Copies of this chain bind each other. A is one copy, B any other.
Amino acid sequence: MSPSPEILTPERILEATEDVLRRYGPTKATVVDVARALGVSHGSVYRHFRTKAALREAVTARWLGRTEELLGELSEEPAKTAEEKLRQWLAVLFEAKRHKAGDDPELFATYGVLIQEASGVVDEHLLVLIGQLAAIIGEGVRSGQFAARDPLAAARAVFDATARFHDPVYAPQWERPEIDDEFRAVCELLLRGLRA
């Protein structure tokens, strides 16, 4: 990224940070590298992100936020039943994670390191995802399709039971040919368990 006369926004800093992380890796990347990529002083970067840790957390939250947005859009489609939404939500989550892991493995590994530093950011991300699931399950309960007494607890259980298909520790398994059948079998069993 070359110097530019544009206004220095948090978003531009985060974009440059991701580029720098991709290029230098999570251990070597510094705030000075980010400032250099933007053609500004490192003081200008620190005006938006007070510490290196804060900058790393923000870029991790932005990365995780992309998946949240993608999934959030799904649950807003009014034409679908709760069961269709739930099935699609789980499939899109798996696909999104698999693409992140497979298309850009270095960036995925980099965020794997950042995630371990930013447990608060990850907890927040998990709450958002489980909240989206709970909203879909709650909708299914109201329409009489699902029987869960506590949609949030049911959402947590569905999320836990599908860990193999979204937790990055399983990324090496996501290229196995059987994985799609295994994913479908777990989803169908869970949907059967949710139905009224």
Contacts and interface: CB of A to CB of B under 8 A. Distances in A.
Nearest to A179: B160
B157 A185 contact: yes
Contact of A182 (B156, B182, B188, B189): B156
Interface string A127-160: 0000000000000000000000000011011101
A180 to B, nearest CB: 13
Given A158-B189, A161-B161, A161-B162, 11 more contacts: A153-B185, A156-B182, A156-B185, A157-B182, A160-B182, A161-B164, A161-B186, A169-B169, A189-B190, A192-B192, A192-B193
A114 interface: no
Contacts of A163: 163-164
Given A160-B164, A161-B162, A164-B163, A193 B189 contact: yes
A192 B188 CA distance: 12
Contacts of A160: 164, 182, 185-186
